Structure 1
Amino acid sequence: MRLHAVRPLKPQERRPREDELAWKIAEVAADGAPDDPAALEMAAMRIVDDWAVAAAALNRPSVISARGAALDTGLRPRGATVIGCGDALFDPYRAGYANATAIRELDFNDSFFAADSSHPGDVIGPLAAVAQGRGLDGMALLRGIVTAYEIQVDLVKGIALNRYRIDHVAHLGPAVAAGIGTMLSLPVPVIYQAVNLAAQLAVSTRQTRKNRISSYKANAPGHVGQIAMLAVDRAMRGESSPAPVYEGDYGILAILLGGPEAEVQVPLPEPGEPKRAILETYPKEHSAGYHGQALIDLAYKMRDRIGPEDDIRDIVIRTKELTHLVMGSGAGDPEKWDPHASRETLDHSAMFIFTVALQDGVWDHDNSYAPDRVARPDTVALWRKVRTEADDAWTRAFTDPAPLDKAHGGRVVVTYADGSTYEEELRVANAHPRGARPFGPAEYRAKFLDLAGPAVDGVECARFLGAVERMMAGGLDDLTQLSLQARPGILREASPGLF
């Protein structure tokens, strides 16, 4: 890997475009470096993971509306499949949007944290739609996914967004554009223009994940995926894009991310170096924000030892600052204790997540968020005794180490009415690569069968998993096999939109 120093240019200062970050990203996307077999296998497993969580979300409101927008465009002789609708083909722009929404809806696919945060698996829905629409084979898709993960992870390592209240999907746009560039074997100048435009248009504020969180949180990756597709289309047609998008004196760094004196260090693979960043990312075992994964596992560990809830005076979760600010008391959001809050808000409440996991000993993507379950009086009473505190030691254990060595958990201190305490801690979630039960191929398949089973029959599930196996072996020429047909009568219809 090579670190690239990136800073805003002074007014009237100019540099060759070959020195720009967008050009260097394009070079990585166009580089025919050797494939890393483990990275390709992980890309296939993340398709399984994404389709699993999408199948479980098929009748969530955001997914219904996004799917309706795709189906309203009508069938296409060349297009992309929509998860749940079998091998029928639709407009790839709308299909990619629908699938990305289904993938993100339950907050149940993978994560990565460094200077910023991300859900890198959000790249897969748009990439698969493009690959199907262009008639590409399975190996092309896997290579595109590996590139998109690489760019997403490298940008997250180098450029912080959250501290400036910019949403993390800003890194998703350039990553998807780069992945499409790899799949289509586009030349560097074309990918460069696409990365510029995708980066320019993918920026939005962090309000997406603040206060009463809306359904747009699920839509955001699909929206940005559409932006990236559009950017590639424009670049292929010869259009140019705002540049230098990162370094310009009116560009992303100077205006949004630190000002004229900002400087960042972005790592990117050397020419000819295999792309392995996907191997640094980690899956989710539970349907909740990633900062809650270890807290759920910790609650399971504590529940049989914690004693009667009426004896508890308060519960303090001592954790890293990011958890405290994003999912904890430090966010300053009373909605995080509100039993009438949206699901999107609840899955970003560490206090809610810990309370329900402690009481139930299980976590379900549907039942744990059911209104009657959330509003149960004993749950509300305990929930309001829980708060988070930012702890410097946990913050350092998250901030300083390499990505796979970061601590994502915390220490829970239970104080009882008599002043006695009970404490436990957990560094990372059990499913984390450094955890007690790291995910492997068997766990991804089990997650798929568990989540897809209620909506998709067993024969169809087996057919899909077989298609993924053939893809890993280099034998899947027809990517429409990466489809899922829901059971008859399962899918709900959307309300009509503009067209």
Structure 2
Amino acid sequence: MQGSCRNDSRCVDQAMASGRRGSEGRAAREPTGAAFNVKGDEMETSKESTSTHATDAIQLHLGRYAQAMNHDDLPHAVVHAATALVIDTLGVLIAAYPYEPCRISRTLAERSPCIDGATIVGSSLRTSVELAAFVNATTARYAEANDVYARYLPGHMHGHPSDVILPLLAVAERERASGRAFLASVVLAYEVYLWLCDESASGGFDPATFGCLGVAMGAGHLLGFDKARMRHCIAMAAVPNNMLKQVRADQLTPWKAVAAGHAGRAGVFAAELAQAGMPGPNLPFEGRSGWCAHVAGRPITPDTLSTGTYRILGARMKPRPARALTIPAIQAAERVRLPGNGIRDVARVTVEVHRQAADGTHAEHWHPDSRETADHSIPFGVATALLHGQVTVHSFDDARLRDPQVLGIMQKMEIAANDEFTAAFSGHPQHYCARVTVAMTDGTRVSAESGRDDEDLALPKSDTWVSAKFRGMAEEAFGRPRSDALLERLWRLADETNVAELPPAFALD
């Protein structure tokens, strides 16, 4: 049975429910603390914290950018792209729902029921909005099938910006926001996440760090923050929540996915703190020990956030549940048709990919001992595709990791960088290309290529493609009729008057 929050410390949501308003003309709740007072649209520091502080141009610019974000001003193509990305992310969440790390996350949330919080998508459980953000983002990330920022600029970072979607849905559900308000918050969070990808050097921090700041600002937008409260929210997200890239280095563990939930939860918490009246650190970006010096690794120009184009249009949906650099080789292997006795007569497999994919294949990818390493492994993905014909979410289950046939094919494989594919990967427009050539024991050679077609990861996907992927991810759990009904509703997300009605529609139990 669902109860109310067990105590105030377990669920900030219920304590703040009275008087809280969201981003569509709803006034923010007065803070209860003494750290600052509200006058009009601005928070002014109390006497205890007043001083001649320097200003942080990046923090101020981000706050103004968030204030200016409005659904009615967004181009149709941007709103449509955000809607498609929400659909894609919810589909991959359902596919990952049964897996153990996702179950562990739900078990944790079950200890803190909260009727005034948000839904654990896939269940009927309601917990605090922070825990819902954690569980849902972790689950959506787990299958390695959510989107990717495909630009891969040299010296810059990339990541999975859809990590922001489920935490923001949790906030929107609690606030009973409209579909339009929710989508505007998603666009805001994407733009911040992807701007930071473009501006930050590829150093020792994981891009999940960007998700925290994107979620914090998107949540603040849904909560109707004024400029000053948004600035405090930004500071409390940026300073304490910077994740080391070790989460996706060497042999990987489920924390690769949990990182998304951790960042989402931290972003929501930063917004909750700002809502309650907590002041954030001073000069979060430009201070001498700030974000630019230690995380971005370089100065950041805030004006580049507003370029006249929307970076969300550069997010790409994955055609296979694997690392982006691995997918082209998998697709090429799926197109190979082996003659004769098939896999038993394979003598040698040559995989040609672009330089970054070849250089990104490390020792652990030849001996994956976890799902997380296997779905990043070109050798494992190609061998699985040659053996089974297609790579799915189940291809990386534990039993498959020990398949002697897959391991045998991997031992016959070599990976080579192809100059033509490297040029295509670095070009404009970008293409993800690969070639797999199989030499048989009788001397026969067969090969197939991927890229430069509708399945190319670098290219935008049609509504038909998005719907087909959603069905492929959700039908095992829901069946075709229910999947189609959910799709029909999701494509009309901008018309929803209350998104709180949406998460319960995904309940599996």
Q: Distance in 1 between matches of 2:408 and 2:425?
A: 31
* Unaligned 5+ runs, structure 1: 1-13, 489-499
Taking a change above 3 Å as real, the CA distance of residues 269 and 253 of structure 1, as seen in their structure-2 partners, is closer
Matches for 1:289-304 after TM superposition, within 5 Å = 289-304=323-338
Residue aligning to 1:223:
262
Q: Distance in 2 between matches of 1:420 and 1:442?
A: 38
Q: SS at the partner of 1:55?
A: helix
Taking a change above 3 Å as real, the CA distance of residues 243 and 406 of structure 1, as seen in their structure-2 partners, is farther
Residue aligning to 1:317:
352
Taking a change above 3 Å as real, the CA distance of residues 464 and 338 of structure 1, as seen in their structure-2 partners, is same
The equivalent position to 1:159 in structure 2, one of 200, 209, 216, is: 200
Tell me the alpha carbon deviations over residues 423-453 of structure 1, each in whole angstroms, 9 at most, x when there is no partner.
6543457434765xx5222222222223222
Write the letter of the residue equivalent to 1:36. Answer: P
Q: SS at the partner of 2:350?
A: strand
* Unaligned 5+ runs, structure 2: 1-51
Q: Distance in 2 between matches of 1:40 and 1:382?
A: 45
Normalised by the size of structure 2, how large is the TM-score?
A: 0.80
What is the CA-CA distance between 1:159 and the residue it aligns to?
A: 1.1
Write the letter of the residue equivalent to 2:172. Answer: A
The equivalent position to 1:24 in structure 2, one of 61, 79, 104, is: 61
Residue 465, structure 1, aligned to residue 487, structure 2: yes
Q: Distance in 1 between matches of 2:236 and 2:147?
A: 26
Q: Distance in 1 between matches of 2:137 and 2:318?
A: 17
Taking a change above 3 Å as real, the CA distance of residues 241 and 398 of structure 1, as seen in their structure-2 partners, is farther
Q: SS at the partner of 1:139?
A: helix
The equivalent position to 2:386 in structure 1, one of 358, 378, 385, is: 358
Residue 46, structure 1, aligned to residue 85, structure 2: yes
What is the CA-CA distance between 1:207 and the residue it aligns to?
A: 1.3
Q: SS at the partner of 2:504?
A: coil
What is the CA-CA distance between 1:256 and the residue it aligns to?
A: 4.3
The answer as to whether partners of 1:145 and 1:179 remain within 8 angstroms in 2 is yes
Q: Which moved more, 1:455-464 or 1:438-447?
A: 455-464
Tell me the alpha carbon deviations over residues 356-401 of structure 1, each in whole angstroms, 9 at most, x when there is no partner.
11222211211x12444343333212112324345566445434x4
Q: SS at the partner of 2:352?
A: strand
Write the letter of the residue equivalent to 1:408. Answer: Y
Residue 72, structure 1, aligned to residue 93, structure 2: no
Q: Which moved more, 1:192-201 or 1:303-312?
A: 303-312
The equivalent position to 1:449 in structure 2, one of 454, 465, 471, is: 471
The equivalent position to 2:146 in structure 1, one of 109, 114, 132, is: 109
Residue 283, structure 1, aligned to residue 317, structure 2: yes
Q: Distance in 2 between matches of 1:249 and 1:18?
A: 11
What is the CA-CA distance between 1:282 and the residue it aligns to?
A: 0.7
Residue aligning to 1:128:
169
What is the CA-CA distance between 1:111 and the residue it aligns to?
A: 0.6
The answer as to whether partners of 1:453 and 1:461 remain within 8 angstroms in 2 is yes
Residue 337, structure 1, aligned to residue 379, structure 2: no
Residue aligning to 2:3:
none
Q: Distance in 2 between matches of 1:457 and 1:358?
A: 28
What is the CA-CA distance between 1:152 and the residue it aligns to?
A: 1.2
The equivalent position to 1:398 in structure 2, one of 413, 422, 425, is: 425
Residue 369, structure 1, aligned to residue 369, structure 2: no
Q: Distance in 1 between matches of 2:214 and 2:508?
A: 34
What is the CA-CA distance between 1:196 and the residue it aligns to?
A: 2.2
Taking a change above 3 Å as real, the CA distance of residues 471 and 16 of structure 1, as seen in their structure-2 partners, is same
Tell me the alpha carbon deviations over residues 93-135 of structure 1, each in whole angstroms, 9 at most, x when there is no partner.
1111111111001011111033211111110010000111122
The answer as to whether partners of 1:343 and 1:369 remain within 8 angstroms in 2 is yes
Taking a change above 3 Å as real, the CA distance of residues 449 and 318 of structure 1, as seen in their structure-2 partners, is closer
Q: Distance in 2 between matches of 1:305 and 1:281?
A: 38
The answer as to whether partners of 2:285 and 2:292 remain within 8 angstroms in 1 is yes
> Percent identity, aligned pairs only?
25
Q: Distance in 1 between matches of 2:53 and 2:337?
A: 60
Taking a change above 3 Å as real, the CA distance of residues 429 and 29 of structure 1, as seen in their structure-2 partners, is farther
Residue aligning to 1:238:
277
Residue aligning to 1:188:
227
Q: Distance in 1 between matches of 2:109 and 2:343?
A: 51
Q: SS at the partner of 2:415?
A: strand
Q: Distance in 1 between matches of 2:285 and 2:414?
A: 39
Residue 409, structure 1, aligned to residue 433, structure 2: yes
Q: Which moved more, 1:111-120 or 1:425-434?
A: 425-434
Q: SS at the partner of 1:317?
A: strand
Q: Distance in 1 between matches of 2:240 and 2:339?
A: 51
Q: Which moved more, 1:286-295 or 1:120-129?
A: 286-295
The equivalent position to 1:85 in structure 2, one of 101, 123, 136, is: 123
Residue aligning to 1:6:
none
Residue aligning to 1:497:
none
Write the letter of the residue equivalent to 1:288. Answer: A
Q: SS at the partner of 1:315?
A: strand
The answer as to whether partners of 1:408 and 1:429 remain within 8 angstroms in 2 is no
The answer as to whether partners of 1:296 and 1:357 remain within 8 angstroms in 2 is yes
Q: Distance in 2 between matches of 1:460 and 1:417?
A: 48
What is the CA-CA distance between 1:248 and the residue it aligns to?
A: 2.4
Q: Distance in 1 between matches of 2:453 and 2:366?
A: 23
The answer as to whether partners of 2:172 and 2:499 remain within 8 angstroms in 1 is no
Q: Distance in 2 between matches of 1:217 and 1:180?
A: 23
The answer as to whether partners of 2:251 and 2:373 remain within 8 angstroms in 1 is yes
Taking a change above 3 Å as real, the CA distance of residues 375 and 127 of structure 1, as seen in their structure-2 partners, is same
Q: Distance in 2 between matches of 1:236 and 1:82?
A: 23
Residue aligning to 1:5:
none
Tell me the alpha carbon deviations over residues 33-78 of structure 1, each in whole angstroms, 9 at most, x when there is no partner.
51111211222222221111111111101110111222221241x2
Q: Distance in 1 between matches of 2:294 and 2:373?
A: 30
Paired residues in the alignment total 450
Tell me the alpha carbon deviations over residues 327-368 of structure 1, each in whole angstroms, 9 at most, x when there is no partner.
x1xx3x3x32226x11111001111111211222211211x1
The answer as to whether partners of 1:297 and 1:429 remain within 8 angstroms in 2 is no
The equivalent position to 1:382 in structure 2, one of 400, 409, 419, is: 409
Write the letter of the residue equivalent to 1:482. Answer: P
